[in-house]
């Protein structure tokens, strides 16, 4: 197995200063959060000018494939459903089975 395959992957949801939500995955949560806060070249285009951002949810997966599957499911949720997920009032089947 490669080092990337052994890495823990994270799904996260950020709340932007304008109240919108952004969902992503990474294998280094702290680094990625700092990149998003920096508004620099590694910041997601969607987040440019929407800082500061607040992390409202994150969960871990044992590989990238599982994280990607969960990300796809979460991105299909409404903003209200994402807020319920962040507060623990909603559980996504894939997330519950793979985290």
- Reply yes or no on whether the pLDDT at 96 is more than 60: no
Average pLDDT score over residue span 10-34? 97
- Reply yes or no on whether the pLDDT at 91 is more than 90: no
pLDDT of residue 17: 97
- SS3 of 53, please? coil
DSSP H or E segment with residue 67:
helix 64-75
CB atoms within 10 A of CB 76: 9
Contact 81, 72 (CB under 8 A): no
- Reply yes or no on whether the pLDDT at 4 is more than 60: no
This prediction has a pTM of: 0.87
* Structure-token match 């009032």, residue found: 89
Structural domains of the chain sorted by starting position, each given as residue range(s) with its CATH number in brackets: 3-91 (3.40.1440.10)
- Reply yes or no on whether the pLDDT at 99 is more than 90: no
Closest CA to 63 of 3, 1, 2, 8: 8
């Amino acid at each position: 197995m490669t080092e990337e395959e052994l890495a823990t992957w994270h799904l996260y949801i950020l709340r932007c200063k304008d109240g919108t939500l952004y969902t992503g995955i990474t294998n280094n949560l702290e680094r990625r959060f700092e990149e998003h806060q920096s508004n620099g070249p590694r910041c997601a285009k969607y987040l440019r000018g929407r800082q500061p951002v607040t992390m409202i949810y994150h969960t871990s997966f044992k590989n990238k494939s599982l994280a990607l599957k969960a990300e796809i499911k979460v991105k299909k949720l409404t903003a209200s459903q994402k807020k319920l997920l962040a507060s623990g009032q909603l559980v996504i089947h894939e997330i519950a089975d793979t985290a």
